[in-house]
Structure 1
Amino acid sequence: MLSEGVGSKIHLHLANRLDRDTSGVMIITKCKIVAGKLTRMFQNRRAKKTYVALCIGPRPTWDEVYIETGHGRSRWGAWRVYAHEDIGRKLPEKATVKDMSTRFMLISINGKKVSGCCCDENHCERIIAVKHQTYKNVPAYGDEVLLRAYPLSGRTHQIRLHCQFFGLPLLGDVKYGGPLVWKGRTYEAHALHAESISFRHPITDAALCLLAPLPEWATSD
């Protein structure tokens, strides 16, 4: 792509963003109009994304789960999970609590694949956060839990916050309770990977699915 612009200026435009330490799929266009159309597509939830996360904690009681919570900043300015009933509540700086929902599927425990996932969002367990149940801030220990996440909204730190809520913080995610050191190794980045994005091309309407190769921590046994 860049070779086409030798001797001329190329203006690239980001259509989506990832957290600083998150790896995976990013879309960069050479056309500002296309980038704008893609950004609106993501904002209107007309694109499907999958993420893979390596968490540390006790084995979940579910193989698949759909979670609905609120999302907003705390009084100290940090992003946090709110109860579902708080959606619409006024916050400082003219902000409000917004909806945040994610479907999770259990992939493996300590490197051993889990069977029995139906992969049907209409048949998975449903969790709605209520008052006084907004997060589980517990020490990170236990099993290595590999999850696939399907975010249905696009909130800041969404998957990281929902994993913290479950008591399954991401490996290396010290901001939300994850361990910096695990099995003698220091992790300087959280274990979250943007695996895929599926959408219709904003000009041709062709169905597209962009995949990023999985990192080592998501493929090793």
Structure 2
Amino acid sequence: MRFSLSVTAITTATTTKPLFSDLSPRLRRATAMSQSHPIPPTATESPISYPVPLSPPLTPLSKQVELARAMSASSKSSAFSLSRSHVVYEDEWLVAVNKPPGVYCESVLASAPRVVLGDSVDSGCTEAVPELHLANRLDRDTSGIMLITKLHKVASRLVKAFTEHKVRKTYIALCVGLAPKWETIIIRSGHGRSKFGAWRVYGAPDVGRTLPGGSVVRDMETSFEVLSVNGQLKSKEPIKHGKDNENIIVVEEKSSIGDNETKDVVLVRAYPRSGRTHQIRLHCQYLGIPLRGDVKYEGVYEWEGQTYDYHALHAESLSFEHPVTGVPLMFQAPLPAWAAECCPNEIPPAFSSNEIHMG
């Protein structure tokens, strides 16, 4: 009987001994944490699936040329000074200017007070210094219309107008590639940064999906119309945009338009609905008509015995309701020389006469 009781006592003592009591305090804590917080599956067990970009990666030539262009632009921008000759329109709330290529937007803004205030800048007068802001931005090598506001409240209203797609924008682009069979087209796709940081075209079904780095694919839409091919004007009348007379491409796979030995000079007008970075350049690349000089997106760097310092893209016009007065405005920048050279005849206007309201 004593033996039986002794065994029972030992058994009881054994079962009530604290778990992991033979382990060191550090190992006990680690073991307890591993049980209360199970280790998640490794990446190899459940890999994250990212959207696949549908436009090609950057070429080695583009990196070399872009570096040289950035250095040149830095020097040119530091010496740049906005003058009255750049001003397209000005009132007490905003000023529209024609930005030259190869100059950063920040340099345009930095020299704007000299134009807005005139001699008072040199005299040190600070009583009526305006609150200058950029209402829109252009790529370093893109020329054309830029808006600078003079008050915070005007800036916020215009930024909202751009965000809500209440500002109509047109661009002129000189492209080199196989002449398209369409006269007008709408292209809808996704837009985002690849894992290497470059902007790329993504499929429309990928909009909203997460990209490497945490950003998401955003929607991107541009309408195009062909103005001329190899110097031959396509039409002298502005094209009416609508669902009935335009082709629509919804991007879901890589472009089927490969590199072709036939190279035509194609002048197009672009109407971007969204405002994504490098939008027109990316869509022209996808359509097989990259911009001349746009080495980042497969555009020719050397063409007919000449190399080009900039891509051929010009912000032609902006139209919107004045953020203060509500009056309809439309600003149009003078066309660059390359547009006139590739199309000797008069380029048709972006809008019909009853749509144009000059400030």
**Would you say same fold, with TM above 0.5?**
yes
Alpha-carbon distance between aligned partners in 1 of 2:227 and 2:184, rounded to the nearest angstrom:
10
Alpha-carbon distance between aligned partners in 2 of 1:136 and 1:76, rounded to the nearest angstrom:
24
Q: RMSD over aligned Cα, in angstroms?
A: 1.9
The answer to whether the aligner puts 1:39 opposite 2:159 as a matched pair is yes
- Which deviates more from structure 2 when the two are superposed, residues 34-43 or residues 4-13? 4-13
The answer to whether the aligner puts 1:102 opposite 2:222 as a matched pair is yes
Larger-Rg structure: 2
Alpha-carbon distance between aligned partners in 1 of 2:159 and 2:239, rounded to the nearest angstrom:
31
| Counterpart contact for 1:138–1:177, Cα < 8 Å | no
- 1:175-195 alpha-carbon deviations (Å, 9 max, x no partner): 001111111121100000000
Alpha-carbon distance between aligned partners in 2 of 1:69 and 1:142, rounded to the nearest angstrom:
25
Query: Which letter maps to 1:88?
Result: G
- 1:31-72 alpha-carbon deviations (Å, 9 max, x no partner): 122122111211111100000000000010100001100001
Which residue in the other structure is 1:27 paired with?
Answer: 147
| Counterpart contact for 1:63–1:117, Cα < 8 Å | no
Of 271, 276, 287, which residue of structure 2 is paired with 1:166? 287
Pairs aligned (count): 220
| Counterpart contact for 2:178–2:260, Cα < 8 Å | no
CA distance 1:168–1:85, change in 2 (3 Å): same
| Deviation for aligned residue 1:140 | 8.1
Alpha-carbon distance between aligned partners in 1 of 2:192 and 2:138, rounded to the nearest angstrom:
18
Taking only the aligned residue pairs, the percentage that are identical comes to: 50
The answer to whether the aligner puts 1:2 opposite 2:124 as a matched pair is no
| Deviation for aligned residue 1:12 | 2.2
The alignment's TM-score, normalised by the length of structure 1, stands at 0.93
Which residue in the other structure is 1:190 paired with?
Answer: 311
- 1:96-153 alpha-carbon deviations (Å, 9 max, x no partner): 111000000000001110139743232201111013x258573786010000000010
Alpha-carbon distance between aligned partners in 1 of 2:151 and 2:260, rounded to the nearest angstrom:
46
Higher strand share: 1
Alpha-carbon distance between aligned partners in 2 of 1:153 and 1:63, rounded to the nearest angstrom:
21
The answer to whether the aligner puts 1:128 opposite 2:250 as a matched pair is yes
| Counterpart contact for 1:104–1:147, Cα < 8 Å | yes
Query: Which letter maps to 2:246?
Result: C
CA distance 1:53–1:35, change in 2 (3 Å): same
Give the alignment of 1:41-60 within 5 angstroms.
41-60=161-180
Which residue in the other structure is 1:61 paired with?
Answer: 181
| Deviation for aligned residue 1:13 | 1.4
Please list every run of 5 or more consecutive structure 1 residues that lacks an aligned counterpart in the other structure: none
Q: Equivalent residue of 1:100, what SS?
A: strand
Query: Which letter maps to 1:98?
Result: R
Which residue in the other structure is 1:153 paired with?
Answer: 274
Alpha-carbon distance between aligned partners in 2 of 1:191 and 1:140, rounded to the nearest angstrom:
21
Which residue in the other structure is 1:202 paired with?
Answer: 323
- 1:184-208 alpha-carbon deviations (Å, 9 max, x no partner): 1211000000000001111111101
Which residue in the other structure is 2:265 paired with?
Answer: 144
Alpha-carbon distance between aligned partners in 1 of 2:204 and 2:247, rounded to the nearest angstrom:
16
- Which deviates more from structure 2 when the two are superposed, residues 196-205 or residues 139-148? 139-148
| Deviation for aligned residue 1:2 | 2.9
Which residue in the other structure is 2:206 paired with?
Answer: 86
Please list every run of 5 or more consecutive structure 2 residues that lacks an aligned counterpart in the other structure: 1-115, 345-359
| Counterpart contact for 2:255–2:287, Cα < 8 Å | no
| Counterpart contact for 1:137–1:164, Cα < 8 Å | no
Greater length-normalized contact order (CA 8 Å, ≥ 6 residues apart):
1
